[in-house]
Amino acid sequence: MVYCYGSDLWKVAYNQGKIHGDAYQTIAGKEIGLSSFPEKEILRYCHWARQRFFYRPRYLTHLFAKALKTDDYRWAHSVMDELVAPLHRHTIMKEDAE
């Protein structure tokens, strides 16, 4: 869960001193007392859920068929970005580590 600046949840957490005023988005991690789960585990679960959604064969088939019918490939492009982004981030992190 992400607490976004100005939302009711953000205001409550800010008033409790758990979120800094300059934070636009804050992941509700165990480290700051907003969740029972550590931030890393929340991010890992979000990544898993996003991949599970975008890798569905039925979804990809529908997306491809829609792109062919409408001659609009923006949807396909956004999905490809979503599929390739984790690989790109992994490559960048490996390069930074070296």
Q: According to the model, what pLDDT value does residue 85 have?
A: 67
Site of tokens 């979503």: 82
Taking each helix axis from N to C end, the angle separating 57-70 and 74-97, rounded to the nearest 10 degrees, works out to 130
| Segments making up each domain of the chain, as ranges | 1-49, 55-98
Residue 13, helix vs strand vs coil: helix
pLDDT tens for the chain, residues 1 to 98: 788 888 898 899 889 988 888 878 888 888 888 888 898 898 888 888 888 887 888 988 888 888 888 887 777 677 777 666 665 554 444 444 44
